[in-house]
Structure 1
């Protein structure tokens, strides 16, 4: 089985947002997949996807705080500033974390660990809506 679709995520505040349920709800074909892979590709260069803690909100806060310190918006050697001071740092963070995830599917569900969830990292102050290509491949 192959299934592919695009979903649009609404504009979100800067930070990390749990999107696991939104993805599962968007792909009802997942329930018919006995074994397979779900690939997610974010079609943007200033946001990211990551698999991380899904329960304690302190984790998303701490991730954002760490990344803001690691890649601050006022670095004097950034030349790409036409779209604002948050744009180049957002590109750097998106490259560090990545814009794709491939997840195992088992018995009609994502085979995630107990505390794992899919998070969209929004790295701009006003990033806007985001597009995500979802590809499911597996056996029914």
Structure 2
């Protein structure tokens, strides 16, 4: 949004949550890469996903992180799975939490989906261990 006065309270709250979960570097890269074409989408996800859902008080960021990883794995959203596995460094979700979530994916969404997500999670966790995660 070009006009700072047009930023809703929900957008500002969403941006704070988005930065807390994904990290400033990730959000800054997304904002830098944004164009007039995708700016409305960036505003939508910041306000709706991060402001309306991730900022709700009923679940912790850890709980939301676990559910999000499972849903993204079940849907085969590989890049998003990797991004949210990286985000566990900020949400408090543990490797055991990721493993348990992906076991649920195997039973409720299928072994192939879980198997592929486990491969992605292992790669991302290895990068994180090596200090290469962005």
Q: Is the shorter-chain TM-score for this pair beyond 0.5, marking a shared fold?
A: no
Structure with bigger RCO (C-alpha 8 Å, 6+ apart): 1
Task: Return the structure number with greater strand share.
Answer: 1
Task: Return the structure number with greater helix share.
Answer: 2
